Amino acid sequence: MLQIYIPDSKQLEVSSSAIARRLFWHLFSIGTIYLDHADHHQPFDKPGVHLFWVVSGKGTLETQDFTYSLGSGNSVWFIDMMHSRTYAPQSGRRLTIRGIRFGLGHLRMWHEELGGSGRAEFSLASASLIKDAYAELWRIVQSKPTAWEWRVHLILDRIVGQLLVARHIPPAPLTEVPEPVARVINAVLSNPLYDWKAKDLVRIARVSYSGLRLAFRQSQRETLHSFIQRTRLSEAKRLLSDPSRSINEVAEQLHFSSPFYFSYFFKRSEGVSPTEFRNRLKHGPMPDVMSGRQPDEESIRADQRGSK
C-alpha cells in the first residue's frame, strides 16, 4: 500500500480575486511547516515562488540539480515553484520552516534577474525586515480589511525589493529615509483613499510643511505632491480594474469633487480616460500599476502651493 507523507503545518491558504491575480503580487499561502520526513513537491502549474527561512532544525533543499543546506540564521530562500523540489530534515531532527508562497504573471523575469535556482539562497545582514513583513501579511490575510489585496501587493513588493538590494540591483546605494518622510509615506500608503491635506501631513510628519516638502524632495527625488498624485492614480487603477464599480463610484471613493474632475485627473496623469483604461484591461496591453513619471514643473509648483 502506497503511503504519502503529509507534513504537519500551520498555514493559511489565501484565495485572491482574479483582478489581484492578474495585476498584483498575490499570496497562495502563508505559514509554518514542520518536517519530520522528506517532503517532495511536483512543479506548480502557474508562476509562483516559495520564500522561506528556517525557524529551527537543519536539513536540505533540492531543486533543479542544486542542493542547499538549510539552517536557522539570516538566510532566506527564494524558490521557483514551477520546478520540482524536495525539503528534507536532517536525520532524526525536525525541520521547521516558515514563509510565504506567492505569484505574479511575469515572475519568470524576477527569477532570472535574481539568479534563478542556482542562486536561490540570500544571506542577508538581517532578515528582520522580511520577518516583520511576514507578520504584517499574516494579520492582513486573517482580517482582510478594505483594500487588503493591494496592501498585500505593496508588502510583497517591499520584500522582493529587499532581495534586489541584497543582490545590488539596482547598483545605486539606498539612502536612509528621514523619519518625517517615512511617517508620511506609511500614512499615505496605508490609507490611499483618504483625501490628504497639508494639515494632515504636517501633523503626521511633526515638522513644518516647508521642511517636509524639502526633506521629501531631497530623499525621494520627487515632490510630495507628485507622490500623493501617483498614489491616487495607482489606487484609481486598482478600483477601475473591478468592473462592478462604476466610474462615478470610483471618483466618489477617491474623494474627487465630481466624476468630470476625476476623468480629467486620470487622463492628464495616464494619457487615457478611465473608460479607455478599462478597455485596455480587456483587449490591450496592461498598463503599469504604478506610474514612473518624473515630476514636472507643474507638480513642483503645485507642491509649493500646498498638497491637496
Reported as a pLDDT band with limits 50, 70 and 90, residue 283 is low
Confidence (pLDDT) at 176: 67
C-alpha cell at 203: 501633523
Question: How many Cβ atoms from other residues are within 10 Å of residue 21's Cβ?
Answer: 17
Q: What is the rounded (10 degree) CA torsion for 207, 211, 217, 220?
A: -30
Rounded to the nearest integer, the mean pLDDT of the chain is 83
Beta strands 8-13 and 85-89 are unpaired
Confidence (pLDDT) at 65: 87
pLDDT at 299 over 70: no
pLDDT at 292 over 60: no
Tally the C-alpha atoms within 13 A of residue 216's C-alpha that lie toward its C-beta.
28
pLDDT digits (tens, 9 = 90+) for 82-117: 999 999 999 888 999 999 999 986 777 788 888 888
Beta strands 39-41 and 49-56 are unpaired
Percent pLDDT > 70 in the chain is 86
pLDDT digits (tens, 9 = 90+) for 216-271: 998 888 899 988 988 888 888 888 888 888 999 999 999 999 999 999 999 998 88
Confidence (pLDDT) at 49: 94
Strands (E), the chain: 8-13, 26-35, 39-41, 49-56, 58-63, 66-71, 75-80, 85-89, 95-103, 121-123
Cα→Cα distances 23→18, 91, 249, 280, Å: 9, 42, 21, 13
- Please tell me the distance from the alpha carbon of residue 116 to that of residue 281, in angstroms, as a whole number: 30
Question: How many Cβ atoms from other residues are within 10 Å of residue 28's Cβ?
Answer: 20
SS3 31: strand
Question: How many Cβ atoms from other residues are within 10 Å of residue 126's Cβ?
Answer: 9
Cα→Cα distances 10→48, 100, 272, Å: 20, 12, 46
Q: How many helices (H) and strands (E) does the chain have?
A: 12, 10
Structural domains in the chain? 8-166 (2.60.120.280), 179-305 (1.10.10.60)
Question: How many Cβ atoms from other residues are within 10 Å of residue 43's Cβ?
Answer: 11
